[in-house]
Amino acid sequence: MKYVNVLLLFVLLGIITGCVSSGGVRIDNIPMYGQPDIPRPAELQQADKNFIASVVEGLGSREEASKVWWAQGERFMNEGNFDYAMRRYNQSWLLNPENYQPYWGFARVSMEKGNLEEAIRFLEKAESLIDDDFQKAALLADLGTIYTEKGAQVPSFFERANKKFEESINLDASYPNSWRRWAFSLYEQKRYSEARVKVQRAQELGAKPFPESFLSALRKAEE
């Protein structure tokens, strides 16, 4: 019965927190409900407390519940439903602000919406909190990717990107996505021979296939 109550909360909290900010955006579609810049109204603070109490009753702890709500956010994220994903990430954050996962989620949604600076801020926050080396390799690869995006504007960020990819591979050299992402990054840096090495390693590890357009461009750049 407790699990039924927890599932109902996914619906009920969507009704409770669906208020609109002064900018016309649902407050639960803004990372951390806009806090601290947007004060949380008293009625929503009480709703938050009720939600947390009900979830803890059903799942045993705020920490465990935060992971469950984050997983729901990931499901929506993978479906391309970024608003619903953000709402679940916000609930995950509300349950446990020390969990790295919702910040990672905030960063992913921010990137999809073209907010690079916000994405960097949240991903760096996630890096500062993560306590899981298995997941950290993937997070560092994401950070390297986002630094590469920033490098197109500020070239010094390319070096930061390389550092994060290297850290990721040092943690787990068998994680193919780190090699794949690094190959793209090095191509953007015009370091073509190094990019080729990363392409080969990614392919050896069974990474997602590179677009033929990318491989063709790399071959041409190497000539």
* 21-32 per-position pLDDT tens digit: 445 678 889 999
Q: Are 71 and 80 in contact (CB under 8 A)?
A: no
What structural domains and CATH numbers belong to the chain?
A: 1-131 (1.25.40.10), 137-223 (1.25.40.10)
* Average pLDDT of the segment spanning 161-189: 98
pLDDT for 132 equals 94
Amino acid 175: pLDDT: 98
What average pLDDT does range 35-46 have in this prediction? Answer: 91
Q: Which residues contact 1 (CB under 8 A, 6 or more apart)?
A: none
For the segment 97-118, the average pLDDT, to the nearest whole number, is: 97
Q: Rounded to an integer, what distance in angstroms lies between the CA atom of residue 146 and that of residue 160?
A: 10
State percent of the chain over pLDDT 70.
89
* Cα separation, 122 vs 108, whole angstroms: 9
Q: Give me the pLDDT at residue 20, please.
A: 46
Q: In the predicted model, is pLDDT for residue 174 greater than 50?
A: yes
Q: What is the pLDDT of residue 11?
A: 44
